[in-house]
Structure 1
Amino acid sequence: MVHCAGVVTEGDLQYLSGFNNEFASEALPDALPEGQNTPQVCPYGLYAEQLSGSAFTEPRHENKRTWFYRIRPSVKHTPFTKYTRPEVGHPGTYPVPVLTTRWDDVDPNPNQIRWLPFKMPEDSEDVDFITGLSTVAGAGDCKARMGGMAIHVYTANRSMVDTAFNNSDGDMLIVPQQGALTVRTEVGVMRVPPNEICVVPRGVRFAVEIDDEKLVRGYVCEVFGVHYKIPDLGPIGANGLANPRDFLTPVAAYEDRECEFTIINKFQGAMFQAKMQHSPFDVVAWHGNYVPFKYDLDKFMVINATLFDHADPSIFTVLTAPSGIPGVAVCDFVIFPPRWAVQEHTFRPPYYHRNCMSEFMGLIKGEYEAKKGAFLPGGGSLHSIMTPHGPDAKTYDIASTEALDPVKVAEGTQAFMFESSFSLALTRWGEETCETVDSDYFQCWQGLESNFDPSWKKT
């Protein structure tokens, strides 16, 4: 039987309002103990259990943990055994998904890579969020917990049933592109449609449900050993970019249900499973600051150049997973939302660029302003460290001659980027098996001709 604090709807969320504040939620009155975390007997006969997302001795402002008060402790399960995902898909139709952290399966490839929209499951396939996860690229060691990341895509046509996922390796930033997700977690339920994102921290068990078994697709950025946070603003001041008050976390919602339930655990890059005879979503009350959260990308306060030149894309950072070096990220989540372009005497699209960071881009909807008509929703691109990239020839020609009147850029569009200081390695799935690699991507720059005129004089 499912219980919750009222009916679980999209509105059953509370403001996160910061990333280190204490939050509390209870689905039954007085389910949270008063004055201490572990009374001899918890209210309603519940078990107290702490989930720690940081070392006990980290500075207070960095310390992350949440106390659960649950019907049964999560330790009540059978031993973990190796889990092999069902081999859905077959060459020529839906590609067999591969989830991996092995970065040496294929030789390094510095070329610009673009993927057409990643293929959806066939009607004959039963694919849920976990069986449909495929790793595109990544770097770093999930065992060392000193930083690293993996980029996955997901496609699915059914909900997870009596199954939950536990990622022991990293936080998962989920970016829906097609179809809404209902993400059921130990602390409550979030509905996440396209143009919203959610983050499930390492170790929080969750299941993904989809509406009426519709097709869904999206992107996932997993970071090892660090957590996502909102970036510091520096000279921008106190306001701008993603405002803390717009992040939402679930309220307590529990189910007291006895059934055979499977916990799928990603541990050191490998997959394991354990059985329990009850639902893991039995947390009646909780308090802490280590919780899943969601964010609506339409609420991003855009900062932009207002006189000349093209500002660096860092001004569009929604979340960052920092490394141990100040200002250098394991991963920045950057968006390119609708905004006004007003610069004078300026080439307004993104400038041609070689970068000491890796840049994976995806498109949620619309047309990306630097690759109109060719970079499609549900696809992606990877521009590796120091590999040049920039607008295609058609975009360059238009932007070099158009009248520089104020114009709304990217209306109806939402592109994003996972930008990392790591040199990302492609997986075999990402380079070969997924079958949507655009082998003609390089052609989009071949029309860039020399305009050099040694006799040119400034007028």
Structure 2
Amino acid sequence: MAHYQRVGAVPPKRHTQHRDPDGALYSEELMGEEGFSSDSSLLYHRHIPSAIRSARTWDLPDQTTRPNHPLVPLHLRLHTLFEGDAWRDVDAVTGRRLVLANADVRISYAAVGATSPLYRNAVGDECVYVEDGAGRVETVFGDLEVGRGDYVVVPRATTHRWVPSGDGPLRLYAVEATSHIAPPKRYLSKYGQFLEHAPYCERDLRLPTPPRVVEDTDVEVYLKHRGHGPGGLAGTIHVVPHHPFDVVGWDGCLYPYAFNVDDFEPITGRVHQPPPVHQVFEGSNFVICNFVPRKVDYHPLAVPVPYYHSNVDSDEVMFYVGGDYEARKGTGIGIGSISLHPGGHAHGPQPGAVEASLGAERFDELAVMVDTFRPLELGEAALASDDGAYALSWDKNS
């Protein structure tokens, strides 16, 4: 996110002495991407950010997967994973349940009511979509107040925690990359500014509040990192002598931010537009798109719902979060559902959906789509939430 920000107390020139009112030096930390060759920020700590008092193993939530074999499309009902009041004691870090994964991305889901531990993902950036509820993401850069429809983009190795608020669950759809996550390059100038044709821009991004110094000792930080466990992951808990939220100021182009789906301006046309017009973010070997309420195709003979298509190079994961999705009527898919359409299977509208859509002027639908360019395997949450019938829903005789 190459838009420079300066927050709090920073020295006039980088890598120079910066002292507190009593004369003690602050500790300067460079947080940067791609080996000092890409975006970075400088953070100024009251204490040494490298200090560790002890370390122990963190047993990650179940990361095992199995192939989608035999190959079939699936309907996953995520709301069945956290039923009743089970969400009240669940947090957004240790309570995530793995839905789908490959070597580039992991998709998890959680309905939470408890404050998470401090957490740092050292594997890749995270893009977390807030399906419902409200809360606060506290980070080493400052805080983000978040709610329904927010994407929260957290750069790799950012120490943060999730604090739910309100009476109901905070429902989170977490897309964890093994790379960085950013707006699509075609939306940006060569210097990183959003271009005029982009469906959102800098004004739509919400930045953290100024950081607040927390004085505490023997603080636990949960760290997800590369290892030899399922998915090539491992977990460690560091006990640090001082709270990581001890930053008095920072500046640079790398930081967490939030973007609400309501601020995405849909691109429409006389005939049906292909999915790339709905793209909102990209990572290595995957993209994130959103389908928002919009005016639909206005050619007099237009067919508003999607044509049948084969995902030759990708698996398509659609998360239904609002409205009434015209192309999937009659399947049982509703709010909180996922459809998985794997590469090699032609998919499209359900029987009768094409005729029913003719003449429509607007679709009131809201969905988040992840397209991957390597096959996805099924996590334990997919196996637990599969409806077992979706693959047959196009056959009128089933």
TM-score (norm 1): 0.77
- In the alignment, which residue of structure 2 is the partner of 1:6? none
Measured at CA, do residues 212 and 259 of structure 1 come closer, stay the same or move farther in structure 2, by a change above 3 Å? farther
- In the alignment, which residue of structure 2 is the partner of 1:23? 5
Give, in whole Å, the separation in 1 of the partners of 2:239 and 2:83. Answer: 27
- In the alignment, which residue of structure 1 is the partner of 2:263? 299
- In the alignment, which residue of structure 1 is the partner of 2:35? 55
**Aligned pairs (5 A) from 1:35-434:** 35-39=13-17, 41=19, 45=24, 46-56=26-36, 58=37, 63-84=38-59, 98-100=61-63, 102-103=64-65, 105-106=66-67, 108-118=69-79, 119-120=81-82, 122-123=84-85, 126-140=89-103, 148-160=104-116, 163-212=117-166, 214-233=168-187, 238-268=196-226, 269-306=233-270, 309-321=271-283, 323=284, 330-341=285-296, 342-355=298-311, 356-372=313-329, 374-399=332-357, 402=358, 404=359, 407-410=361-364, 413-427=365-379, 429-432=380-383, 434=384
Secondary structure at 1:396 match in 2:
helix
Q: Note if contact 2:95-2:110 (Cα within 8 Å) is conserved in structure 1.
A: yes
The C-alpha deviation readout for 1:24-55, integer Å capped at 9, x for no partner, is: 101xxxx2111223327466632211112222
Overall identity of the aligned pairs, in %: 22
Unaligned runs of 5+ in 2: 189-193, 227-232
Give, in whole Å, the separation in 2 of the partners of 1:250 and 1:292. Answer: 7
Q: 1:279: Cα distance to partner? A: 2.2
- In the alignment, which residue of structure 2 is the partner of 1:440? 389
Measured at CA, do residues 40 and 371 of structure 1 come closer, stay the same or move farther in structure 2, by a change above 3 Å? closer
Higher strand share: 2
Q: Note if contact 1:189-1:250 (Cα within 8 Å) is conserved in structure 2.
A: yes
Give, in whole Å, the separation in 2 of the partners of 1:133 and 1:383. Answer: 23
Measured at CA, do residues 38 and 379 of structure 1 come closer, stay the same or move farther in structure 2, by a change above 3 Å? farther
- In the alignment, which residue of structure 1 is the partner of 2:191? none
Secondary structure at 1:25 match in 2:
strand
Q: 1:225: Cα distance to partner? A: 2.6
Give the aligned residue type for 1:177: E
Give, in whole Å, the separation in 2 of the partners of 1:384 and 1:106. Answer: 11
Q: 1:276: Cα distance to partner? A: 2.2
Q: 1:122: Cα distance to partner? A: 4.8
Q: 1:275: Cα distance to partner? A: 1.1
Q: Note if contact 1:117-1:376 (Cα within 8 Å) is conserved in structure 2.
A: no
Measured at CA, do residues 224 and 273 of structure 1 come closer, stay the same or move farther in structure 2, by a change above 3 Å? same
Secondary structure at 2:181 match in 1:
coil
Aligned length: 380
Q: 1:109: Cα distance to partner? A: 4.3
Measured at CA, do residues 80 and 52 of structure 1 come closer, stay the same or move farther in structure 2, by a change above 3 Å? farther
The C-alpha deviation readout for 1:73-125, integer Å capped at 9, x for no partner, is: 2212234321126xxxxxxxxxxxx442x55x456442101112332255366
Q: Note if contact 1:115-1:380 (Cα within 8 Å) is conserved in structure 2.
A: yes
The C-alpha deviation readout for 1:356-411, integer Å capped at 9, x for no partner, is: 21111102222222113622212212111122211111313413xx4x26x1212x
Secondary structure at 2:320 match in 1:
strand
Give, in whole Å, the separation in 1 of the partners of 2:16 and 2:333. Answer: 54
Measured at CA, do residues 291 and 344 of structure 1 come closer, stay the same or move farther in structure 2, by a change above 3 Å? same
Q: Note if contact 1:121-1:156 (Cα within 8 Å) is conserved in structure 2.
A: no
Secondary structure at 1:229 match in 2:
coil
Q: 1:64: Cα distance to partner? A: 1.4
Measured at CA, do residues 237 and 42 of structure 1 come closer, stay the same or move farther in structure 2, by a change above 3 Å? closer
Secondary structure at 1:253 match in 2:
coil
Asked if residue 32 in structure 1 is aligned to residue 32 in structure 2, the reply is: no
Q: Note if contact 1:179-1:193 (Cα within 8 Å) is conserved in structure 2.
A: yes
Give, in whole Å, the separation in 1 of the partners of 2:120 and 2:315. Answer: 28
Measured at CA, do residues 109 and 49 of structure 1 come closer, stay the same or move farther in structure 2, by a change above 3 Å? farther
Q: 1:258: Cα distance to partner? A: 1.5
Which structure: larger Rg? 1
Give, in whole Å, the separation in 1 of the partners of 2:182 and 2:102. Answer: 17
Q: Note if contact 1:177-1:217 (Cα within 8 Å) is conserved in structure 2.
A: yes
Give the aligned residue type for 2:82: M
Q: Note if contact 1:109-1:426 (Cα within 8 Å) is conserved in structure 2.
A: no
Which is worse superposed, 32-41 or 339-348?
32-41
Measured at CA, do residues 23 and 40 of structure 1 come closer, stay the same or move farther in structure 2, by a change above 3 Å? closer
Q: Note if contact 1:32-1:43 (Cα within 8 Å) is conserved in structure 2.
A: no
RMSD of aligned alpha carbons: 2.4
Secondary structure at 1:159 match in 2:
coil
TM-score (norm 2): 0.88
Give, in whole Å, the separation in 2 of the partners of 1:339 and 1:106. Answer: 36
Q: 1:71: Cα distance to partner? A: 1.6
Measured at CA, do residues 122 and 280 of structure 1 come closer, stay the same or move farther in structure 2, by a change above 3 Å? farther
Give, in whole Å, the separation in 2 of the partners of 1:350 and 1:159. Answer: 41
